[in-house]
Amino acid sequence: MKPSGHSHSHDHAAEPLSDLTSRLRQKSRRITGPRQAILDLLRQHRHPMTNKEIHAALADGGCDLATIYRSMHLLTEMGMVKRFDFGDGVARFELVTCDEHAHHHHLICTCCAEVVEIDDCFAAELEARVAAAHGFKSVTHKLEFFGVCPECQHAGHSHEKRARKKPCGC
């Protein structure tokens, strides 16, 4: 596993870990290497990652893929990670931050799968309206945009055989 060293700084980077510690303790869950490594990784990448990508990135002395799946379930349940579905049948995860960046959406290129973060959100009021109209509680929402990015618009029609699974069309 990655050498822990001294990571007691107070910058944003350190938050997830201390947060993890306290939250895990509340549930009599343990702070393990894999869990720390996964959060570390998610903190570095700002884009959503699939479990396979996480597994690959943790390759050096990394943990088992099954452990990653189990960890993502746990972290999602604890609200430290958020799951996204871009329509290709593969789950993607992002760290839930505490800053203004916390809630955001994505703009995904249906051609090259590029992902752009969209901080703009406006659905909060809608959530309230929807909840009231149907008597639901704890209403949240997921909103993603899909389109063709500038590069793909110019990149002619190179028949790059992208699997049907990828958020791709060309």
Partner DNA sequence: CTGGTTGCAAACAATTTGCAACCCA
Partner DNA sequence: TGGGTTGCAAATTGTTTGCAACCAG
Under 8 Å between Cβ of 136 and 126: no
Q: How far is CA 143 from CA 16, 43, 77, 157, in A?
A: 24, 22, 20, 29
Q: Which residues of 87-110 are buried (b: 16+ CB within 10 A; e: fewer)?
A: ebeebbbbbbbeeeeeeebbebbb
Among 9, 134, 157, 158, binds its own copies (CB under 8 A): 134
Under 8 Å between Cβ of 111 and 148: yes
* Torsion angle in degrees (nearest 10) through CA of 149, 154, 160, 165: 20
Backbone phi and psi for residue 22, each to the nearest 5 degrees, phi listed first: -65, -45
How many chain residues interact with its own copies (CB under 8 A)?
46
Site for DNA in 76-95 (CB under 7 A): 89-91
Decide: is 70 part of the binding site for DNA (CB under 7 A). yes
Local structure of 82: helix, strand or coil: strand
Residue 59 contact, options DNA, its own copies, none, Cβ 5-8 Å cut-off depending on partner type: none
Residue 63 contact, options DNA, its own copies, none, Cβ 5-8 Å cut-off depending on partner type: DNA
Q: Which is nearer to DNA, 53 or 127 (CB)?
A: 53
Decide: is 73 part of the binding site for DNA (CB under 7 A). yes
Residue 12 contact, options DNA, its own copies, none, Cβ 5-8 Å cut-off depending on partner type: none
What is the nearest approach in angstroms of its own copies to the Cβ of residue 129? 7
Part in contact with DNA (CB under 7 A); list of ranges 5-13, 24-32, 135-143, 145-153? 24-32
Backbone phi and psi for residue 134, each to the nearest 5 degrees, phi listed first: -120, 5
Under 8 Å between Cβ of 117 and 48: no
Which residues make up the interface to DNA (CB under 7 A)? 24, 28-35, 50-52, 63-67, 69-71, 73-74, 89-91, 163-165
Which residues make up the interface to its own copies (CB under 8 A)? 1-2, 73, 77, 83, 85-87, 89, 91, 107, 109-110, 116, 118, 120, 122-123, 126-127, 129-150, 153, 160, 162, 164
